[in-house]
Amino acid sequence: MINHIDWEGLAQRLKTSRDLSGLTQEESAKLLHINRRSVQEHEKGAHPRTGLIKRYASIYKVDSHWLMTGESSQGIVTEDAAPYGRTSEVMVDGKAVKITSFEPKSDAEQSEPNILIREALAAIMEKDRENHRLRVKIQELTEKLATIRLFYLTHEAARQQEEIQPLLKQLDIPLDTNKHGEKS
C-alpha cells in the first residue's frame, strides 16, 4: 500500500522510464488509451490518477511503487522481466534498492544500451538523493524561520511596551494594574 506519492519526482521518473522504454509520447498515449497531451502534461508535473500511474508502470516495465514514490523494494524492472536479467542491490539514502540489469550477449550489445541504462539509473538515484536533501533543507529553514518570527514578535512587543510606558505615565495610569484598574 502506498501512503504517499512523490509528485515532484513522478514527472521525472515518468519521462525517464518512457525514454528508457524507447516509446514516444504518442506511442505511450496509444497504449494507455489517452491523448499525447496528457502524457506530456504528466511528464511536466500534472497529477495522473493512481490507476493510470500503474498502467504507465506496466507499459514502461517498471515497478509502480518506484514510479509513485521513488523507492523500490521490488526493483526497477517488473518481476516478469527479472528472470532475463541479473538483480543487484545498491544503497540509496540508506535503503537497499534492487536493480535488474541485463547481461549482453555480445560485446556489440554491451556498448550503448546498457551503458545508457546504467547512466540513466544512476542519474535517477542521484536526483532522488538530491530531492531528499532539499526536503530536509526546506524543513530546517522552515524551523529557523519560525524561530526568527517568534524572536521578532517578542522583540517588537518589548519595543512597543517601552514606547507606551511614557504615555501611560503622562496619563497617570499605573503600570502595575490589571484590566480592572486593581493593583496586581
Confidence at residue 83, expressed as pLDDT on a 0 to 100 scale: 39
Q: What is the pTM of this model?
A: 0.43
Q: What percent of the chain has pLDDT over 70?
A: 67
From CA 184, how far away is CA 175, in angstroms rounded? 10
Per-residue pLDDT band for 77 (boundaries 50, 70, 90) equals very low
Chain position carrying cell 517498471: 62
Residues in Cβ contact with 153 at an 8 Å cutoff, skipping those fewer than 6 apart: none
Residues in Cβ contact with 154 at an 8 Å cutoff, skipping those fewer than 6 apart: none
Confidence at residue 179, expressed as pLDDT on a 0 to 100 scale: 60
**So where are the chain's domains?**
7-139
The pLDDT tens digits for 115-146 are 677 777 778 877 888 888 888 888 899 899 98
For residues 75 and 82, the answer to whether their CB atoms sit within 8 Å is yes
For all residues of the chain together, what is the average pLDDT?
76
Residues linked to residue 157 through DSSP beta bridges, in sequence order: none
- Structurally, at CATH architecture level, domain 7-139 sits in Orthogonal Bundle (1.10)
Give the DSSP letter string of the chain.
Answer: --S---HHHHHHHHHHHHHHHT--HHHHHHHHTS-HHHHHHHHTT----HHHHHHHHHHHTB-HHHHHHS--SS-SB-TTTGGGSEEEEEEETTEEEEEEE---SSHHHIIIIIHHHHHHHHHHHHHHHHHHHHHHHHHHHHHHHHHHHHHHHHHHHHHHHHHHHHHHHHTT--TTB-TTS-B-
Confidence at residue 84, expressed as pLDDT on a 0 to 100 scale: 40
